[in-house]
């Protein structure tokens, strides 16, 4: 049971530049989404969400069927499906493939699933040259950092920080103009693309009825990663499935708008197997690595399996007031924000980071914007209940448990409740003047009271409660 | 239209903000309602529910049902307590069909105060006068669970002398979140400060909400920042003349 990373959270909150960077970047993304949804073209957005939710629910409820169909069609297209139970199996396959084909260099486009299974570290450990080709991911790879956001991985970095990283790691002259930084990265990456043996992409969607992998992006690097090298691998979580090609349109419409406010992302690539006879380009070999890594565990949880509907648009992060304060690196896993707060405990069990589902004010903004209508706040509440039950089984968390038991006892006994209320002014003599309380005497400066007062003033307990005033009012009447 | 209304004032209003409750009673009485305050009432169970202690939440929720079972119409000066009753009681009672049935029966008779005024009493102008500039804070549960957005604004706009100024972050959370406010005190405090920046940008003298717990968070942060802005419950504005 890991404790709340209070120090790290404190440091993030105390870093004014970082706070501004997170707040502004998320505000921009929120604004872009809003503008896209206000466009008459998106008048049916609510209906799209409803439909997307229905399609995902149907797919997840019938996952075995569609997985089989996907494999059949993908094999028919000349590709191969590799079933990876966990990170090691996925990495082992790629390592062996690289070895069998004397491959040394791999280019990668952005993929949260490969982040999830620490693919880069595992491959680099075996002296393979793995290069991230998405600009944000490339910057993070140079800086040895994890993505800060599932859509905008380097959201927290300013161009000045990027300039420092480029100078230090690439040995180029310091350059703070974003367009020029892009040119530097492009020149470096071009050469990698042309000399890579293997290209790795993620997948936004897997289409069962056509055996195709769909990748959406804005930079064109996924398209290059999947076309230049002779061997191509797509790594995807098994929940990325959709049944039919005709289902795709709705997801493309909601994904771009929710993520970046684009009606459609710039590139939508369909990867459907290796080069066929008579075709002039395309890879020689094509593999789809289907990663479980805990997904079947989530699938077994009837109430919460809807977490697998997620299309990784990032809207819930942008709209989350907690993410906007603590940023992406204080969450225990690669998935941050509201979706991270439910995926981490669902994949790893609630006892690893029992605080995580509680790190939310339950404002509900995430559920309101989620394009596939995942009931994130409801799942957070259920997870909190799971944490309480797990702690009870383990015999930990006694203090809070007893506090709520006693509290409930008082709440069921109105007379006791009223007496406890009347005791408050006596315990808090500071309240006598009726002004808001800034601090309390030392012996009281503990626990929740101290934590409340660390940030804001405390209301004075009313001299007479509502019920007392009400009785008087009735007597007078 | 009911003539008789039962008040569930919530534990927060009862213990900390009785003025908001009395103001609600004033407004309703002026509109001609007979009020009933069942004295055995305490809390809706939300603190335990939100903290994951569903057994304890269920006990307290069952107590609420005992107290209010026979009430024809229940009015509550809080969006989140209303949502607890109408949206969450059923979820924690699933394993107990008898209790669940009782919860289901009460749902349609529980109204958040502003919704009662606009949708049941059918009034917008309650005859109040409040010659001040005011901004309205959308409390999260009222906004997203109860879908209350325009009602309180209509009520405020009808108050004589009142100028309503919208803030840019009206829908952003104040950072309270029940036990979240003390478990993650620094994050909660930072959220409150962001919110009060937005309040200050409007130049309003008062920030008004329909949830006393948000008001406690906001007034606490305003007071800590030495701000002259005051947080008021909607009922207090509507009771002013
Ligand atoms: S949970 Fe919903 S809003 Fe969040 S990233 Fe996934 S699809 Fe987007």
For residue A431, pLDDT beyond 60: no
Give the domain extent around A448.
398-476
A255-309 pLDDT tens trace = 999 999 999 999 999 998 999 888 888 899 999 999 999 999 999 999 999 999 9
Report whether A286 contacts A273 (CB < 8 A).
Answer: yes
Domain boundary among A296, A321, A343: A296
Residue A382 lies in a domain: no
| Chain A nearest C-alpha distance from B172 (Å) | 7
Tell me the backbone φ, ψ of residue A231, rounded to 5 degrees: -115, 135
A3-43 pLDDT tens trace = 999 999 999 999 999 999 999 999 999 999 999 999 999 99
Q: Is the ipTM of this complex over 0.90?
A: yes
Query: In this complex, is the C-beta atom of A467 within 8 Å of any C-beta atom belonging to chain B?
Result: yes
Residue A348 lies in a domain: no
B18-76 pLDDT tens trace = 999 999 999 999 999 999 999 999 999 999 999 999 999 999 999 999 999 999 999 99
- Which pLDDT does position B1 carry in this prediction? 63
Residue A248 lies in a domain: yes
Query: Does the CB atom of residue A339 touch ligand 1 within 6 A?
Result: yes
- Please tell me whether residues A149 and A284 are part of one structural domain: yes
Residue A345 CB contacts under 8 Å (≥ 6 apart), including other chains: A352, A353, A356, A357, A383, A386, A387
List the single residue in A with minimal CA-CA distance to B215.
A459
Interface of B with A in 158-197 (CB under 8 A): 171-173, 175-192, 194
Residue A371 lies in a domain: no
Taking an 8 Å cut-off on Cβ atoms, the answer to whether B56 and A363 are in contact is no
Q: How many domains are contained in chain A?
A: 2
Q: In a 3-state reduction of DSSP, which class is residue A387?
A: helix
Please compute the mean of the pLDDT values over residues A77-87 and round it to a whole number: 95
Which segments within B155-205 are labelled E, that is strand? Answer: 163-164
A174-190 pLDDT tens trace = 999 999 999 999 999 99
Query: Does the CB atom of residue A374 touch ligand 1 within 6 A?
Result: yes
| Chain B nearest C-alpha distance from A184 (Å) | 37
pTM over the 0.90 mark:
yes
Nearest CA to ligand 1 atom 3: A370
C-alpha to C-alpha distance for B217 and B226, rounded to whole angstroms: 14
Interface of A with B in 305-334 (CB under 8 A): 321-322, 325-326
Residue A380 lies in a domain: no
C-alpha to C-alpha distance for A312 and A252, rounded to whole angstroms: 12
Domains, chain B, in order of start with CATH, read 4-119 (no CATH), 124-238 (3.40.50.11810)
The CATH number assigned to the domain holding A205 equals 3.40.50.10420
- Which pLDDT does position A477 carry in this prediction? 78
Residue corresponding to tokens 């009460």 = B106
Domain boundary among A243, A262, A296: A296
DSSP H helix total and E strand total for chain B? 14, 8
For residue A430, pLDDT beyond 70: no
Residue A205 lies in a domain: yes
Domain boundary among A296, A328, A355: A296
Among the residue ranges A107-121, A436-450, B153-167, the one predicted with the least confidence is A436-450
CB atoms within 10 A of CB A383: 22
Local structure of residue B145 (DSSP, 8 states): I
């Amino acid at each position: 049971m890991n404790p709340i990373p209070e120090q790290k959270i404190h440091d993030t909150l105390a870093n004014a530049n970082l706070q501004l960077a997170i707040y502004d970047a998320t505000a921009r993304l929120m604004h872009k989404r809003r503008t896209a949804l206000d466009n008459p073209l998106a008048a049916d957005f609510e209906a799209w969400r409803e439909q997307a939710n229905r399609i995902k629910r149907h797919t997840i409820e019938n996952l075995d069927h569609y997985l089989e169909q996907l494999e059949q069609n993908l094999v028919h297209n000349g590709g191969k499906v590799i079933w990876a139970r966990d990170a090691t199996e996925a990495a082992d396959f790629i390592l062996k493939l690289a070895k069998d084909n004397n491959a040394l260099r791999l280019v990668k486009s952005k993929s949260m699933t490969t982040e999830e299974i620490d693919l880069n570290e595992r491959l680099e450990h075996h002296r393979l040259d793995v290069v991230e080709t998405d600009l944000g991911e490339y910057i993070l790879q140079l800086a040895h950092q994890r993505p800060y956001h599932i859509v905008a991985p380097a959201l927290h970095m300013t161009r000045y920080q990027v300039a420092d990283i480029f100078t230090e790691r690439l040995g180029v002259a310091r350059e703070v103009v974003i367009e020029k930084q892009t040119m530097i990265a492009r020149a470096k990456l071009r050469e990698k693309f042309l000399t890579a043996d293997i290209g790795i992409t993620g997948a936004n969607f897997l289409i069962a009825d056509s055996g195709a992998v769909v990748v959406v992006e804005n930079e064109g690097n996924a398209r290059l990663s999947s076309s230049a090298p002779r061997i191509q691998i797509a790594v995807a979580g098994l929940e990325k499935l959709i049944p039919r090609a005709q289902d795709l349109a709705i997801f493309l419409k909601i994904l771009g708008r929710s993520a970046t406010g684009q009606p459609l992302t710039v590139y939508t690539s369909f990867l459907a197997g290796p080069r066929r006879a008579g075709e002039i380009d395309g890879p020689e070999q094509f593999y789809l690595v289907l990663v479980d890594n805990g997904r079947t565990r989530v699938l077994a949880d009837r109430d919460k399996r809807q977490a697998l509907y997620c299309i990784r648009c990032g809207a819930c992060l942008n709209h989350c007031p907690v993410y906007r304060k603590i940023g992406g690196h204080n969450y225990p896993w690669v998935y941050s924000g509201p979706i991270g707060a439910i995926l981490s405990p669902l994949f790893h069990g609630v006892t690893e980071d029992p605080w995580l589902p509680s790190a939310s004010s339950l404002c509900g903004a995430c559920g309101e914007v989620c394009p596939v209508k995942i009931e994130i706040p409801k799942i957070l509440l259920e997870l909190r209940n799971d944490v309480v039950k797990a702690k009870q089984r383990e015999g930990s968390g006694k203090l809070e448990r007893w506090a709520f038991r006693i509290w409930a006892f008082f709440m069921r006994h109105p007379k006791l409740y009223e007496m406890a209320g009347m005791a408050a002014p006596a315990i808090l003599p500071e309240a006598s003047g009726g002004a808001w309380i800034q601090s309390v005497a030392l012996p009281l400066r503990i626990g929740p009271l101290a934590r409340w007062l660390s940030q804001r003033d405390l209301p004075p307990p009313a001299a007479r409660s509502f019920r007392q005033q009400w009785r008087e009012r009735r007597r007078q009447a | 239209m009911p003539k008789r209304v039962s008040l569930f004032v919530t534990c927060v209003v009862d213990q900390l903000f009785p003025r908001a409750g009395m103001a609600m009673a004033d407004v309703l009485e002026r509109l001609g309602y007979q009020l009933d305050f069942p004295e055995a009432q305490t809390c809706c169970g939300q603190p335990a529910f939100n903290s994951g202690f569903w057994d304890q939440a269920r006990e307290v929720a069952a107590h609420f049902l005992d107290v209010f079972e026979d009430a024809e119409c229940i009015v509550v000066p809080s969006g989140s307590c209303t949502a607890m009753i109408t949206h969450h009681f059923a979820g924690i009672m699933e394993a107990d069909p008898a209790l669940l049935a009782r919860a289901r029966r009460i749902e349609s008779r529980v109204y958040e105060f502003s919704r009662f005024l606009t949708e049941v009493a059918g009034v917008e102008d309650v005859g109040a006068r409040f010659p001040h500039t005011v901004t309205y804070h959308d409390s999260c549960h009222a906004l997203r669970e109860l879908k209350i957005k325009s009602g309180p604004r209509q009520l405020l706009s009808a108050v004589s002398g009142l100028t309503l100024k919208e803030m840019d972050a009206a829908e952003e959370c104040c950072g309270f979140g029940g036990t979240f406010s003390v478990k993650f005190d620094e994050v909660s405090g930072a959220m409150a400060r962001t919110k009060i920046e937005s309040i200050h940008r409007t130049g309003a003298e008062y920030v008004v909400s329909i949830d006393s717990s948000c008001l406690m968070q906001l007034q606490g942060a305003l007071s800590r920042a030495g701000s002259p802005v005051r947080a008021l419950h909607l009922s207090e504005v509507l009771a002013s003349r």
